Amino acid sequence: MEQTAIVTKGRQLEYGRTLQYVNIIDLSVNNLTGGIPNEITSLVDLGTLNLSMNHLTANIPENIGNLRWLETLDLSHNKLSGSIPGSLSLLTFLAHLNLSYNNLTGRIPSGNQLQTLIDASIYKGNPSLCGSPLPTKCEGDDPSNVPNFSVGDAEGNEDKSEMLGIFISMATGFVVGLCGVCGTLLIKQSWRKAYFQFVDHMKDSVSNTIILAMIHLRRKMGLSRI
């Protein structure tokens, strides 16, 4: 694939040595037939490849993962067959993918970048495809998606329940005790008077202790006034 000519918008563009540096190829809606040439995967600087709405047949090139800078791949509305190459998962910059309305078969590959492309419409119109993100399960897949909880998970849940119960009991006891003290102080005048006298006494004691400690510290550091 050393040279090619592309007719677009009434102009014929010829690519020779610079063909490998082409960044965008859009040949959509051109009634193209035959298979996708394997040589196209040598255009390693390609960022967009749009071959949609043609009559392309055969398989998607297995080494399409060589297009490491590819961001957009649209092969929709063709007659492509076979499985989807697993090398698609190697396209780390792939952000837009459309393989809908072909004759593709088998399991949809997963992993790497393909895990971010979870729109089922990417693959619709391919009745023989299976696997995520399509609702159709592949043969051998577990039909139930019930999560399995291990014994360790159950024990962890029990521990959390016990801790929650302890905290609730502590909070309840604190509230009950506080209500009892406050209620007693409100009802019994003698207790209320004794309580506030005790608080005043403690305040004076703490204040005197702090003052004495400050005086002692100033003297020790040689900062006391004569």
Specify whether domain 4-130 bears CATH 3.80.10.10. Answer: yes
pLDDT band at 139 (very low <50, low <70, confident <90, very high): confident
Whether residue 103 is predicted with pLDDT greater than 50 in this model: the reply is yes
The domain ranges of the chain are 4-130, 169-226
Whether residue 179 is predicted with pLDDT greater than 70 in this model: the reply is no
Whether residue 30 is predicted with pLDDT greater than 60 in this model: the reply is yes
Give the DSSP H/E element, type plus range, for residue 215.
helix 189-220
pLDDT single digits (tens) 56-74 = 999 999 999 999 999 999 9
Whole-number pLDDT of residue 149: 37
What CA–CA distance (Å, rounded) separates 90 from 112? 7
Q: What are phi and psi of 167, to 5 degrees?
A: -65, -40
Bridge partners, residue 6, by sequence? 13
Whole-number pLDDT of residue 113: 86
For the chain, give the mean pLDDT: 77
What pTM was computed for the model? 0.57
CA angle 172, 174, 179 (to 5 degrees): 95
Whole-number pLDDT of residue 226: 45
Please indicate whether residue 77 or residue 207 has the higher confidence score (pLDDT). Answer: 77
pLDDT single digits (tens) 70-94 = 999 999 999 999 999 999 999 999 9
Percent of the chain whose pLDDT exceeds 70: 55
Q: Any idea which residue has 């949609």 for tokens? A: 52
Report whether 81 contacts 101 (CB < 8 A).
Answer: no
What is the DSSP code string of 159-214? HHHHHHHHHHHHHHHHHHHHHHHHHHHHH-HHHHHHHHHHHHHHHHHHHHHHHHHH
Positive or negative, the CA dihedral 146, 152, 158, 161 is: negative
